[in-house]
Amino acid sequence: MHAKAKYRKDYKKPDFTVTDIHLDFQLDPQKTVVTAHSQYQRLNPAATVLRLDGHSFQFASIKVNGKDFATYQQDGESLTLDLSDIDAERFELEVITRLVPAKNTSLQGLYQSGEGICTQCEAEGFRQITYMLDRPDVLARYTTKITADKSKYPYLLSNGNRIAGGDLEDGRHWVEWNDPFPKPSYLFALVAGDFDLLEDSFTTKSGREVKLELFVDRGNLNRASWAMESLKKAMKWDEERFDLEYDLDIYMIVAVDFFNMGAMENKGLNVFNSKYVLANPETATDEDYLNIESVIGHEYFHNWTGNRVTCRDWFQLSLKEGLTVFRDQEFSSDVGSRAVNRIKNVKFLRTAQFAEDASPMSHPIRPEKVLEMNNFYTMTVYEKGAEVIRMMHTLLGEKKFQQGMKLYIAENDGKAATCEDFVAAMEQASGVDLTQFRRWYSQSGTPELTVTDSYDEKKRSYKLYVSQMTAPTADQMDKVNLHIPLKIALYDMNGMPFSLIKDDEAVNDVLDILLEDQVFEFHNITSKPVPALLCDFSAPVKLDYDYSTAQLIALLKFAHNEFVRWDAMQMLFAQELRRNLSAYQQGEQLTFSAEILSALQQVLENYQSNVELTTLILTLPKETEFAELFKTIDPEGIAVVCDFMQHAIAEGLQDLWLKTYHQINLEEYCIDMRDIALRGLRNLCLQYLAFTDYGNALVNKHYLYADNMTDKLAALAAATKAQLTCRDKVMKDFEEKWQHDGLVMDKWFNLQATRPDGNVLTLVKQLMDHPSFNFNNPNRLRALVGSFESQNLRAFHAVDGSGYRFLTDVLLRLNESNPQVAARLVEPLIRFSRYDSQRQTLMKRALERLREVENLSNDLFEKIEKALQ
Ligand code: B3K
Ligand code: ZN
């Protein structure tokens, strides 16, 4: 039997709440005993039935007000108490449960990670620890006492402040924690283990000193400092930009190896996937460093947007996630490059989120219907959610947006709020009408803006005709018009921008698109302009304007806005790909435009003017990015054309790649923006050069001389993608050096899984038995199986169905061990409607095989049902 879906419209306030809870953990990986004493309060005087959530533990006993209690009913997911005989408004429950953390491979609730023990409670993991009103609008004060073997678990951690501790005679010890801030159960955390500890401190702007503690596996201290620096940067930034200060006296972060997602913002005690903590130049790439900074920031920013103000119910998840992603994006943009961050985020959104919105899982950023909540930690809720916040920021401007934030926090601090509370605060503080804008919260799908134009030379008038349309999605047939901010600029053919003027008055460069069709007129335009549309990706929409190659090249060269220049190149690449794909499908010859090649050449020649942008412009979009251009994806054709384009650009600019490669000289490895940019460009040169005659010698040498992971990995990737002779040698060398380090080996697994070789699937299957692989570790699974299915389009979608069968076999195993990860990895299969009928049949067959499984988890069930409906 599967759980029933819940609907947003059915939200009801709880009849009871918990005000205080005291947890006692007698910790042992094989047998943990949890005693929970909770103070309940009846909120609805008429209520006599108390239904508590709980499953996957052994229930030992329950007492009410200290007395044994027997009038309850128990099923697989709850305990329902009949409280007709309890009249008081307040009463106490004592619940005792027993758990086996070592056997909990789901990595939710209380589980063993390596030699330590930790928790993951969001969304509904607390109910795997004890019976509880496990919903985010029940906020309680927690006290937690942990007792465990002292030599195995010298550190016993929980939320808040350490209030007591001591040693016992039998080699065990105990620590007690108190968190003064009432919080929902999903923010509860406990960690026990033996760690190396990096200590630091931060003085808040009001002068309070906060202790900072970062716990990593023994021996990893030399990889902890960047995370600590990032934390301090984040704390400072939140004070400066958002005027938000940290509230407890201690902030702890623990890095663990077994973790389903990136990290978790538990109050005062963040638990992190070690991937987003550990870094030193030898083990981490520049990209890893930047990701760590952003995830550390993200979890820290949750302390206000998520913890102090939390969500009323899980349908409101974007209230904290969309907003916190927006905040972490702004953080990265303020401490790094704004344009680069914007480009990276948009690349990600256009590929992954647009694909999700076109899939059976399509849902609004505030979903209406949820069966398994873990399935809704999605690109839509997070990334599109952040775009919705960003659009409000665009419409209001920084100052009014910050006034809105202030009001939102003042009104909701310590409470469980809704998305509507946020929008209302923004509206009230700014005076900007957001009535129509609110529809972004309830409408799913990617809107399409179609733009045409006309120019009247005599009147010097230019008109833009804009229409909006959102196609029906799997979850929602009827669509309405949205409020879409469309940021534009107009250039003459020499690259001079026109002032936007109508009737002698300046017009805002952000146009408000509100209707299905709208016309915008601009005066005093002295020649036919080239429009730059959707500058900075001012809204998460698809844009359709019939650009000529010449117009795009003009924007690429002249636009003042870096994003616009990059985006122009994206459109040029897309034109080349489309043209060549249809040539390929008709058996014609493939060609690469000389005009575009020379435009690329010019960009590369001028790299010194903007190194990072040059790299981003010259990077050919990935196959998966190109795939999103099509309703029906031809994985084979896209791979062939991508390969052709890669070669054409490599050979066409061969000498310049080589010259640039040698021109860039970097001294000792250093993590700063300039060096990251130069390394990035140099490695892009290498990647193209790999496809030329210079390839093998150069890549081999690059690998040998690299003193850091960024360069080493760039060489490995180049050797793998171009299938160079040196590949096996360098891959072997890397494997021997790092086989004992799972995190580093993930990079190796990723390269193996994305090899262009015909026999890659055989290799992937063999690697599942590699000593560094561990089926129960989500990072390993994502690196090997995840990379194969999502980045190796050609092999995964092989027409013999071998890729689908392989994935299905993996999912059958994962359904038992870790349903949450299974439901992530099933994604490519449920998107079958994007492929030809032969592949569709095979993919559906794979899903049907899964559907037949007897104990199919809710996680997989929800997605497969939607797909096969
Ligand atoms: N809030 C957590 C995600 C929890 C996912 C639960 N399946 C991390 C984050 O978004 O910051
Ligand atoms: Zn988050």
Query: What tens digit of pLDDT does each residue of 725-751 get?
Result: 999 999 999 999 999 999 999 999 999
Atom of ligand 1 nearest to the CA of 299: 11
pLDDT at 1 over 80: no
User: Where among 166, 193, 220 does a domain terminate?
Assistant: 193
Mean local confidence (pLDDT), 105-122: 98
Q: Does ligand 1 lie within 6 Å of residue 421's CB atom?
A: no
265 close to ligand 1 (CB < 6 Angstrom): yes
590, with CB counted inside 10 A (0-12, 13-18, 19+), is: middle
237 pLDDT more than 80: yes
Residues within 5 Å of ion ligand 2, judged at the Cβ atom: 321, 324
Among the listed residues 94, 213, 265, 299, the single catalytic one is 299
Does the beta carbon of 321 lie inside 6 Å of ligand 1?
A: yes
Q: Is residue 20 part of a domain?
A: yes
CB 234 within 8 A of CB 244: no
Among 193, 228, 245, the domain boundary falls at: 193
Averaged over 386-399, what is the pLDDT? 98
- Ligand having the closest approach to the CA of 322: 2
- CA–centroid distance, 309 to ligand 2, in Å, is 13
Which numbered atom of ligand 1 lies nearest the CA of 260?
7
Please report the pLDDT score of residue 345 as a whole number. Answer: 98
Residue 373 CA: distances (Å) to CA of 308, 739, 860: 22, 36, 12
Report yes or no: 380 and 357 within 8 Å, Cβ to Cβ: yes
The pLDDT assigned to 467 comes to 98
Q: At 668, is the pLDDT very low, low, confident or very high (cuts 50, 70, 90)?
A: very high
Which one of 122, 260, 271 would you pick to mutate in the ligand 1 pocket, going by the greatest count of ligand atoms within 8 A of its CB?
122
Please list, in sequence order, all residues whose beta carbon lies within 8 angstroms of the beta carbon of residue 603, skipping any fewer than 6 positions away. Answer: 556, 569, 614, 617, 618
Indicate if the pLDDT at residue 720 is higher than 80.
yes
Summarised one tens digit per residue, pLDDT across range 209-223 is 999 999 999 999 999
Testing ligand 1's pocket by substitution, the residue of 259, 264, 267 carrying the most ligand atoms inside 8 A of its CB is 264
Residue nearest to atom 3 of ligand 1 (CA): 264
Report residue 771 as tokens: 């000593």
Contacts by 397-401, CB closer than 8 A, 24 or more apart? 400/429, 400/430, 400/431, 400/432, 401/426, 401/430
Closest C-alpha to 779, from 802, 803, 748, 757: 748
Share of the chain above pLDDT 90, in %: 99
pLDDT in tens, 631-656: 999 999 999 999 999 999 999 999 99
Reply yes or no on whether the pLDDT at 158 is more than 90: yes
CA distances from 487 to 394, 399, 446, 540, 543 (A): 9, 19, 18, 12, 12
- Confidence at residue 311, expressed as pLDDT on a 0 to 100 scale: 99
Ligand 1 atom with the smallest distance to the CA of 298 is 11
- In the 8-state DSSP scheme, what is residue 706? -
State the closest ligand 1 atom to the C-alpha of 321, by its place in the atom list counted from 1.
Answer: 10
Cβ–ligand 1 contact at 377 (below 6 Å): yes
The pick from 266, 321, 821 for probing ligand 1's pocket by mutation, whose C-beta has the most ligand atoms within 8 angstroms, reads 321
Q: How far apart are CA 840 and CA 833, in angstroms?
A: 6
In this structure, is residue 109 part of a structural domain?
A: yes
pLDDT greater than 80 at residue 436: yes
* Digit-coded pLDDT (tens) for 259-316: 999 999 999 999 999 999 999 999 999 999 999 999 999 999 999 999 999 999 999 9
Residue 189 Cβ inside 6 Å of ligand 1? The answer reads no
CA distances from 511 to 147, 444, 503, 539 (A): 61, 22, 16, 11
CA of 303 to the centre of ligand 1 (A): 13
Count the residues in the chain.
869
User: Largest alpha-carbon pair distance within the chain?
Assistant: 96
Pocket of ligand 1 contains residue 383 by CB under 6 Å: no
Asked whether 261 lines ligand 1 (CB < 6 A), one says: yes
Whether residue 142 lies inside any domain: the answer is: yes
Mean pLDDT of 145-159: 98
Contact predicate 252/269, CB 8 Å:
yes
Could you tell me the distance, in angstroms and rounded to a whole number, from the CA of residue 357 to the centre of ligand 2? Answer: 20
Average pLDDT over residues 663-688: 96
| Cβ-based neighbours of 528, under 8 Å, separated by 6 or more | 455, 457, 462, 493
Res 817 pLDDT > 90? yes
Q: Does residue 3 surpass a pLDDT of 90? A: no
For atom 1 of ligand 1, the residue with the nearest CA is 264
Residue range 76-88: mean pLDDT, rounded: 97
Closest protein CA for atom 8 of ligand 1: 264
Q: Whose CA is nearest to atom 10 of ligand 1?
A: 321
Q: Determine the distance separating the centroid of ligand 1 and the alpha carbon of 564, expressed in angstroms.
A: 33
Closest protein CA for atom 9 of ligand 1: 264
For residue 493, the model assigns a pLDDT of 84
Q: Report how far ligand 1's centroid is from the alpha carbon of 324 (Å).
A: 11
Beta carbon of 361 within 6 Å of any ligand 1 atom: no
Q: Is the CB of 316 under 6 A from ligand 1?
A: no
CA of 261 to the centre of ligand 1 (A): 7
Range of the domain at 497: 447-548
Query: Is the beta carbon of 298 within 6 A of some atom in ligand 1?
Result: yes
Question: Domain end: 149, 177, 193, which one?
Answer: 193
Tell me if residue 420 is catalytic.
no
Q: What is the DSSP string of 393-404?
A: HHHHHHHHHHHH
Residue-wise DSSP of 62-73: EEETTEE---EE
Q: Average pLDDT, stretch 605-615?
A: 98
Q: Quote the DSSP letter at residue 383.
A: I
Mean pLDDT, range 480-492, rounded to an integer: 98
CATH of the domain at 524: 2.60.40.1840
Number of domains in the chain: 2
Are 484 and 446 in contact by the 8 Å Cβ rule? The answer is no
**CATH number for the domain including 3?**
2.60.40.1730
Q: Is 563's C-beta closer than 6 angstroms to any atom of ligand 1?
A: no
| Residue 327, ligand 1, Cβ within 6 A | no
pLDDT of 595 over the 80 cut: yes
| CA pair distance 658, 299, nearest whole angstrom | 42
CB-CB contact of 657 with 685 (8 Å)? yes
Judged by its nearest atom, the ligand closest to the C-alpha of residue 314 is 1
From atom 7 of ligand 1, which residue's Cα is the shortest distance away? 374
Mean pLDDT of the chain: 98
Could you tell me the pTM of the whole model?
0.99
How far, in Å, is the centroid of ligand 1 from the Cα of 186? 10
CB of residue 272 inside a 6 A radius of ligand 1: no
The pLDDT value given to residue 2: 86
